């Protein structure tokens, strides 16, 4: 038995080694890859055999777009073409193994065949085919002197989870329709199928509601600030409120159609009852607090005290749970939103709702007495259950962040677990659908490297940690775990290039987690592929974070109180060179081999990483003052 196991292991290792030698580096990892010797060289004119179905255009357009822009080859689509270079085949009889999104990809010396039950599977098969081609396929101009060949291989593939998502916060900073479309394109490359759009928050209301025009004339704009979000100077009354924007309803329809053509659903989020300052500034009657008519859309100034329990608000950014106008307002909003988004769920937020102003409100106190509500958590539960009924009245399903568990969850509510995994476990055991998106693994706004190199937020999440994400933790009822997603909050993300930087490569790790078989996950193999995809992103001009190559600093005090610094790297095989003399080190400088004692008068510690004699990391300058702070007394 041991000999058989060893033989199987050796065969698997050989297959992995052979696929890597063949240039096969597919993210997310397919269910099964069987590489063979040889390759198929694409002809000068590429004929694609595909059925004449309207939905097939989504697949053939992807092939046309990629091949025409990068290879310069002509692509012809034909219903019948026995000698076609690429055959797209829909099964006449459903293959239970593949499901709705799976595919078989076969490359032989004389051609390529992709087989699936539905066009979604063909689309994902084409995305895999593109990853088998040279990296130049991602280029924006016709590449010269490239052999357009594909390794001979058999691939069987289908997703582990039905929900494979990324959340994009377009409320803190507005991103244009074109920018969101580019984000969708990058998602589709890695087989994500759900874009969660965070459309409203304290800093902006980003979707046109025709029955409530002030939401966009007032709520979509604030005063532009740049720097460290959350500590900005409070805007003066005379500063122009012209920073922001919103999506018209026609924009939303166009985005939804664009996403559907790439097999991506869009789920809208209308975050209430907290995070609602943009709405309250537009319609002050939403507030339970006197003086709300003086409120303005937040520009990034401090409005909550995160140092105290319950994070009390300094400005009441909540909706009034006791006011009937609140529910009339939400009925209008949800009614129009439901008409724009075909996806079954509407996410209604529910997170981080400060309740200190509710505690002062006579209206809320009267509601508590009338409804026999014992605390503020039950007040929010009352609100959430009423909102759930509104959502369901529009033919949609209600989803919220895990705070909706507090005070009692609605009967049909689905939950998105963000404060770790335990709320997702609890909700699944209670029979509620759950999407896992815990801060511990899936928050893309967190720093990826040392804070001296990143926009500073309150936590760090490295690629290695993200790759450990498991959407079905021990203790959860697996049949209620719909899948997982990563969340990109944009307080410190001001433009689409930074959004890309924060998403990739951690988005690769999430993609592999929610698509690939759990048993096939292996970080060392994964990172070998990541580096190949860095090369592809260079061709595509997509920004990514090279943070994984940066050294990790650990400061401490020696017995004699001298400052010590220890260095490590997130991935193996890197050499670190350093200086304390304010110059810029290269491989001719001292090489790090163990804990260093910082010279008495040094002010800067500079380091750079090399691999195989060539620089690979960024030049990092660590102030000695910062090391002293970290070492303490």
For the chain, report the end-to-end CA distance as a whole number of angstroms. 58
Rounded alpha-carbon distances, angstroms, from residue 515 to 26, 30, 46, 130, 195: 12, 8, 30, 18, 15
Could you tell me the two tokens for 464?
């290695």
Radius of gyration of the chain (CA): 27
**Residue 434 bridge partners (DSSP):** 415, 481
Q: Which two tokens stand for residue 79?
A: 């219903």
| pLDDT tens readout for residues 215-258 | 999 999 999 999 999 999 999 999 999 999 999 999 999 999 99
Two tokens, residue 523: 């970080």
Active site positions, annotated: 352
3-class SS of residue 543: coil
- Rounded-to-integer distance, Cα 286 and Cα 599, Å: 60
Question: Is residue 16 predicted with pLDDT exceeding 90?
Answer: no
The CA distance from 474 to 98, in Å, is 27
Average pLDDT over all residues of the chain: 95
Cα angle 541, 439, 445; round to 5: 35
In CATH, what is the architecture of 2-157? 2-Layer Sandwich (3.30)
> What sign has the CA pseudo-torsion 417, 421, 426, 431?
positive
pLDDT at 2: 37
Residue 332 has pLDDT above 90, yes or no: yes
- How wide is the angle at C-alpha 491 spanned by C-alphas 485 and 495, nearest 5°? 90
User: Which residues are registered as beta bridge partners of 597?
Assistant: 564
Residues 433-461, mean pLDDT to the nearest whole number: 96
* pLDDT for the residue numbered 21: 47
Q: Does domain 550-631 have CATH number 2.60.40?
A: yes
Residue whose structure tokens are 């709520």: 219
pLDDT tens column, 391-439: 999 999 999 999 999 999 999 999 999 999 999 999 999 999 999 999 9
Model confidence at 15, in pLDDT bands (50, 70, 90)? Answer: very low
**Cα–Cα distance between 247 and 249 in angstroms, integer?**
6
For residue 569, what are the β-bridge partners? 551
The SS3 of residue 314 is coil
Whether the predicted pLDDT of 11 surpasses 60? no
Q: What is the DSSP letter of 405?
A: G
Return the residue matching tokens 């940066």. 550
pLDDT band with cut points at 50, 70 and 90 for residue 17: very low
Band of residue 23 on the pLDDT scale cut at 50, 70, 90: confident
Fold of 163-540: TIM Barrel (3.20.20)
CB atoms within 10 A of CB 110: 9
DSSP-based three-state secondary structure for 65: helix
DSSP result, 464-478: HHHTT--SS-TTS-G
Q: What is the pLDDT of residues 473-494, one digit of tens each?
A: 999 999 999 999 999 999 999 9
Tell me the CA distances in angstroms from 424 to 164, 377, 432, 435, 494, one per residue in order.
16, 18, 9, 7, 31
| Domain ranges across the chain | 2-157, 163-540, 550-631
What are the angstrom distances between the C-alpha of 291 and each of 288, 325, 456, 579? Answer: 9, 17, 34, 58
Q: Is the pLDDT of residue 149 over 80?
A: yes
Q: Residue 22 — pLDDT band, cuts 50, 70, 90? A: low
Question: Quick check: 97 pLDDT over 80?
Answer: yes
Average pLDDT over residues 168-180: 98
For residue 557, what are the β-bridge partners?
A: 563
DSSP string, 322-348: T-HHHHHHHHHHHHHHHHH--SSEEEE
Q: Of 265, 277, 301, which Cα lies nearest the Cα of 205? A: 277
**Each residue's pLDDT tens digit, 574-629:** 999 999 999 999 999 999 999 999 999 999 999 999 999 999 999 999 999 999 99
Read off the pLDDT band of 19 (50, 70, 90): very low
Average pLDDT estimate for 492-500: 98
Express the helix, strand and coil content of the chain in percent, nearest 5 each: 35, 20, 45
Indicate the DSSP class of residue 291: T
For 113-127, what is each residue's pLDDT tens digit?
A: 999 999 999 999 999
- Report the sign of the C-alpha dihedral through residues 446, 448, 451, 452, in that order: negative
Confidence of residue 326 (pLDDT cuts 50, 70, 90): very high
E strand intervals along 538-584: 551-557, 563-569, 575-579
Token pair of 257, please?
């159609």
The 10s digit of each residue's pLDDT in 225-236 is: 999 999 999 999
Classify residue 583 as left (phi > 0), alpha (psi -120 to 50) or beta. beta
């Amino acid at each position: 038995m041991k000999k058989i196991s060893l033989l199987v292991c050796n065969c698997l290792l050989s297959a992995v080694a052979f696929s890597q030698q063949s240039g096969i580096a597919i993210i997310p990892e397919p269910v099964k890859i069987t590489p063979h010797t040889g390759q198929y060289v694409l002809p000068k004119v590429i004929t694609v055999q595909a059925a004449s179905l309207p939905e097939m255009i989504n697949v053939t357009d992807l092939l046309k777009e990629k091949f025409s822009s990068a290879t310069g080859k002509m692509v012809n689509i034909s219903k019948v073409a026995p000698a076609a270079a690429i055959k797209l085949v829909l099964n006449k009889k459903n293959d239970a193994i593949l499901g709705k999104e799976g595919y078989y990809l076969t490359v032989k010396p004389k051609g390529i065949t992709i087989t699936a039950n539905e066009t979604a599977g063909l689309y994902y098969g084409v995305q895999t085919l593109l990853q088998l081609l040279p990296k130049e396929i991602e280029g924006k101009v016709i590449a010269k002197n490239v052999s357009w060949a594909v390794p001979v291989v058999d691939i069987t593939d289908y997703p582990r989870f039905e929900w494979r998502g990324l959340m994009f916060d377009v409320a803190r900073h507005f991103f244009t329709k074109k920018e969101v479309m580019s984000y969708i394109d990058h998602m589709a490359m890695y087989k994500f199928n759900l874009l969660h759009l965070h459309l409203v928050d304290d800093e902006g209301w980003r979707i046109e509601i025709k029955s409530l025009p002030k939401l966009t004339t007032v709520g979509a704009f604030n005063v532009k600030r740049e720097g460290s979000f959350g500590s900005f100077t409070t805007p003066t009354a005379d500063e122009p409120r012209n920073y922001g924007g919103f999506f018209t309803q026609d924009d939303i329809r166009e985005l939804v159609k664009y996403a559907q053509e790439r097999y991506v659903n869009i789920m809208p989020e209308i975050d209430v009852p907290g995070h609602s300052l943009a709405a309250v500034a537009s319609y002050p009657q939403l507030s339970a607090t006197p003086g709300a008519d003086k409120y303005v859309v937040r520009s990034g100034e401090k409005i909550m005290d995160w140092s105290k329990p319950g994070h009390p608000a300094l400005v009441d950014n909540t909706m009034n749970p006791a006011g009937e106008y609140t529910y009339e307002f939400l009925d209008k909003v949800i009614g129009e939103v439901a008409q724009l988004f075909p996806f079954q769920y509407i996410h209604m937020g529910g997170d981080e709702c400060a309740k200190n102003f509710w505690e002062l409100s006579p209206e809320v106190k009267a509601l508590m007495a009338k409804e026999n509500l014992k605390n503020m958590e039950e007040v929010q539960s009352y609100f959430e259950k009423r909102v759930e009924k509104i959502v369901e009245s529009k033919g949609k399903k209600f989803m919220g962040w895990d705070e909706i568990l507090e005070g009692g969850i609605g009967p049909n509510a689905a939950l998105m677990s963000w404060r770790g995994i335990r709320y997702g476990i609890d909700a699944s055991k209670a029979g509620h659908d759950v999407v896992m998106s815990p801060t511990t693994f899936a928050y893309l706004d967190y720093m990826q490297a040392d804070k001296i190199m990143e926009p500073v937020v309150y936590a760090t999440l490295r690629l290695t940690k993200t790759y450990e994400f498991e959407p079905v933790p021990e203790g959860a009822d697996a049949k209620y775990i719909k899948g997982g997603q990563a969340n990109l909050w944009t307080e410190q993300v001001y433009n689409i290039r930074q959004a890309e930087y924060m998403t990739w490569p951690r988005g690769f790790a999430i993609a592999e987690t929610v698509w690939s078989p759990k048993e096939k996950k292996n970080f060392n193999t994964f990172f070998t592929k990541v580096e190949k995809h860095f090369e592809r992103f260079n061709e595509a001009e997509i920004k990514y974070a090279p943070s994984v190559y940066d050294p990790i600093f650990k400061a401490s005090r020696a017995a004699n109180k001298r400052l010590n610094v220890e260095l490590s790297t997130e991935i193996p095989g890197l050499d670190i060179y350093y200086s304390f003399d304010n110059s810029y080190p290269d491989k001719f400088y001292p090489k790090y081999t163990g804990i260093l004692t910082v010279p008495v008068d040094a002010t800067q510690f500079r380091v750079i990483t090399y691999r195989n004699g060539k620089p690979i990391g960024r030049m990092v300058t660590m102030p000695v003052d910062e090391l002293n702070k970290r070492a303490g007394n």
